[in-house]
Structures are given as C-alpha cells and as structure tokens.
Amino acid sequence: MSKILLVEDDVSFCKMLESFLTRKDYVVATAFSAEEAKAKVKSDSFDLIITDLRLPNYDGIELMAEFKKDFPQIPVILMTGYSDVNTAVKAIKNGASDYISKPFNPEEVLLVVSNALQTETVEVVKEKPLPKPKKTTSKSEFITGISPASKKLAEYIQLVSPTNMSVLIIGESGTGKEVIAKSIHENSIRKGNNFIAVDCGAIPKELAASEFFGHLKGSFTGAINDKVGYFEAANGGTIFLDEIGNLSYENQIQLLRALQERKIKPVGSNKEIEVDIRIITATNEDLREAVKKGDFREDLYHRINEFSIHSPSLRERNEDLMIFADFFLEKANEQLNKDIIGFSSEVMTIFQNYKWPGNLRELQNIIKRATLLSQGDFIEKGVLPSELFQQETQGDVHFSLSDNEKDTIINALAKTQNNKSEAAKLLQINRKTLYNKLKLYNLD
C-alpha cells in the first residue's frame, strides 16, 4: 500500500483530498506547512509527495527542490489553483513528476498519482528503508486541531492528565466537554479503570443521593434491589459530573462531604465505603456568579476547581472546522454504512460562513443527516437543513470583499492589528486566499 504525504495549508481542501485518496487504498499523511512537511519526511518514509504550489511563507517549487535534493527517490506532484502553463512547465523542468490543477478532477488525480508511483525504478524501491509500523488509531474522539484555541486546550489536557487534580471544564453547550473529560482520563494513570459520566441536570434532586452513592434494598419506596451508585462504580477511576450547576443546594452539601472525606454511605446503610476517585466537572454557566448569588456553595466550587479548562466554541476554532467535519463524516459513514468522500466546495463555503450556535454537536448532527440523505460521492448543498442559509444580523462591523477589495482588506487588517488569521475570518475567506490577495495588491 503506497504512502503519500499531502502538503496543503487549506485545511478543508486537504481533508477532502486525504479522504478521497484514503478511500482509494492509499495511506495518507498530511502537513499544513512546509516546516511540518520537512519534519515528517525526515521521520517517516513516503512513496509520493503531493504539495501545493503556494504555501504561506514558502514557495512550493522551492520546497519540491529541497525534497528532490535530499530524497531523490520520492516523486513529487505539484498542485495549484492557478492553471498557469508556464508555472507547470517550470515545475516539471525542476523535477516535478506531474501537475494537478484545482479544483481537482477525481479521475485525473488517480491517473497522475498512479503514473507518478509507477515511475519509481525497482532499484530505487529496493534502496528505500522499510516502512515504520503503522500506529494503531485510538478510539478517543478527542481531535487535536490546528487553531490556537485547540493547541492551548491540548496543552492543558497533557499538563493536567497525569495529576489527580480536580478539573472544571467551562464552555458552551455542544463544545465537547465530555470528550475533553474522557481524554483527561485516557491520558491519566487511571485509564485502566472506569470513566463514569453523569448528567446532573437529568437527576431529580430526591434521587441524587441514591444515584451518586447507591442504596440498599427497601431503603425507600421503589428500592426493590441493592444499587451501586456512580461513586462506587467509578472507584479507582474518574467520575465526570456534567452541568454540575444544576445540583440542588442539598445535593451540593452531600457531594462536598463525599469529596472531602473520600467516603460514601449508600442510602439506608450505616456502613461507609472508601472511594478513590478523580472528579472532573463541567458547566456552561458562570459558577462564580452562582456563588455570589448563593446558588452554589463556594467551598464546593473551590474543591472542584483545582484546575479549570476552557472548552472553546466552534467559532473560536474556525481553522479546525473542516477537520471536525471530516471526522464526523468518517463516523457517519461507519454508522450508516455509507461511503461519502467529502464535501462540495459550495458546502464548505456554507459551513465556513455559518455561526454554529450549537457548536460541535450541531455540526455532527447536520453531517450525519446529510450523509444519510446524500446519493453521490460528495455532500451537496441540497441535503443541508434550512437554518444554514439564514444569515444572522451581527452587531459587529460586517466585512465582505466587493468592488473596494483592497480597502476592505486594509480595514480588516487594521481592525485585527495585522493578525492575518483574524482578518481572514472577518473577510470570510480562508487564510491562503488572503495571502494571495495581499500579494496581488502588494500588501504586507
């Protein structure tokens, strides 16, 4: 099975091409920058490199020349959205095996890739090092994105996971707080024991003690059997209490006592049970404000908040949108026994312009529904729900590229203190498009 390195900073296009090639039985690794690509080529072995002609702060032909110098046995294919014959000729003269123009034609890509791989001689193949063992994929649903917010989140998870600190995860509904909690558990010394997730908002306050600590048969009406509570079930592992702010004041006292003493007493029992658990909690409200109002105990707040983590909204992780979309598509394909390759360019634009009030949960649900409805290889606009086309009026200044394109770009850069990623978001274009516009207008 041939292994391909795909170098492309346009995440959405990169993920789509990766999915397409993977479904055609190629092993694909991706790099979003020239630096990342050079590091991967040094640490792994590849049969083919496909790189974009225009990368941020790097020229694709120069990158190709470096690859050909250090790894002459690996064929390189260049791709570009600018179908310039002169550039194509120059690339091939400099050692490119072939050239792909975007948007790509699936049959053309397969033909070009197949031809490039077949040009390797038997002698060169023999000289190549044995491929490294393929890493087993984790069952974890935690996706490490490339946005600053995602990198910070991943860093915090790595820092706090090996400890026994209580963690409070704060973020909007649908941002994946339980996935973060499970990732902390899976990266801790407790990973061999249970991870118990509890939705505090779904437990009636009268039954909370029984749910948390268990009960003995006959201890109250309806207790027809002994019951093991969540705390005992999580013994040795991790208990995750989602929307902890929904607990009644009485339940908060019971929870605080259990956390302080690390002992629980099932309802109807006189016997205490020692428990060794790590507690992770989550909320989408401001618990500090709840403490001020007297709705949440301050001592419990400090007990559960030894370390806090912000679960970023999808709006804060704009660069990761198509990474998540591709992950949810893979998941939907598996669940629905489908084989959708990716998203049409029109759908990707719609996704990038939508505000995603429901965050990752909304994205996952929309993609699953679209996967079920799709009949072709790609998810098209027609299978998307109507809410994606209803533009909200925003209080912020609205930026769009129009007749005064150059001035609009200058204004967006000024508003974001020359932060190009933020400017691209304001302009509702991807980062690479902005770089090309800057070059076009001689802006820096």
What is the rounded distance in angstroms from the CA atom of residue 399 to the CA atom of residue 172? 26
Domain spanning 3-127: which CATH class is it, in words? alpha beta
pLDDT at 258: 92
Phi, psi of 68 (to 5 degrees): -65, -30
pLDDT at 127: 38
What is the rounded distance in angstroms from the CA atom of residue 256 to the CA atom of residue 299? 8
Question: Structure tokens of 135?
Answer: 């890493």
3-class secondary-structure state, position 391: coil
What is the rounded distance in angstroms from the CA atom of residue 408 to the CA atom of residue 440? 14
pLDDT at 130: 33
Which among 4, 1, 38, 37 has a CA at the least distance from the CA of 18?
Answer: 4
Question: Structure tokens of 363?
Answer: 């994205």
pLDDT at 136: 31
pLDDT at 118: 78
Rounded average pLDDT per 10-residue block, the chain, 444 residues: 87 81 88 89 90 79 83 84 57 72 73 77 38 38 84 95 96 94 96 92 85 85 81 94 92 93 88 93 92 93 96 92 90 91 88 91 94 92 88 47 68 82 75 73 75
The CATH topology of domain 314-389 is: Helicase, Ruva Protein; domain 3 (1.10.8)
Residue 322 is classified by DSSP as H
Query: Hey, what amino acid is at 367?
Result: I
Query: Hey, what amino acid is at 207?
Result: L
Tokens 């203190």 — which residue? Answer: 417
Contact 357, 348 (CB under 8 A): no
- Cβ neighbour number for residue 91 with a 10 Å cutoff: 23
Tokens 């046995």 — which residue? Answer: 73
CATH for 393-444 is: 1.10.10
Tokens 């790189």 — which residue? Answer: 51
pLDDT at 215: 87
- Multiple choice CATH, 148-311, 3.90.600.10, 3.40.50.300, 1.10.10.10, 3.20.20.100: 3.40.50.300
What is the rounded distance in angstroms from the CA atom of residue 414 to the CA atom of residue 423? 9
- Cβ neighbour number for residue 309 with a 10 Å cutoff: 22
- The residue extents of the domains of the chain are 3-127, 148-311, 314-389, 393-444
Contact 168, 296 (CB under 8 A): no
What is the rounded distance in angstroms from the CA atom of residue 255 to the CA atom of residue 208? 10
What would the DSSP string read from start to end of 112-178? Answer: HHHHHHHTS-HHHHHHSPPPPPPPPPP-------SSHHHHHHHHHHHHHTTS---EEEEE-TTS-HH
Tokens 């704060």 — which residue? Answer: 170
Write the CA distances from 136 to 100, 133, 139, 183, integer angstroms: 32, 9, 9, 17
Write the CA distances from 134 to 45, 183, 228, 328, integer angstroms: 11, 22, 41, 23
What is the rounded distance in angstroms from the CA atom of residue 441 to the CA atom of residue 216? 76
Alpha helices, DSSP H, located in 24-84: 34-43, 60-70
What is the rounded distance in angstroms from the CA atom of residue 444 to the CA atom of residue 442? 7
Same fold, 3-127 and 148-311: yes
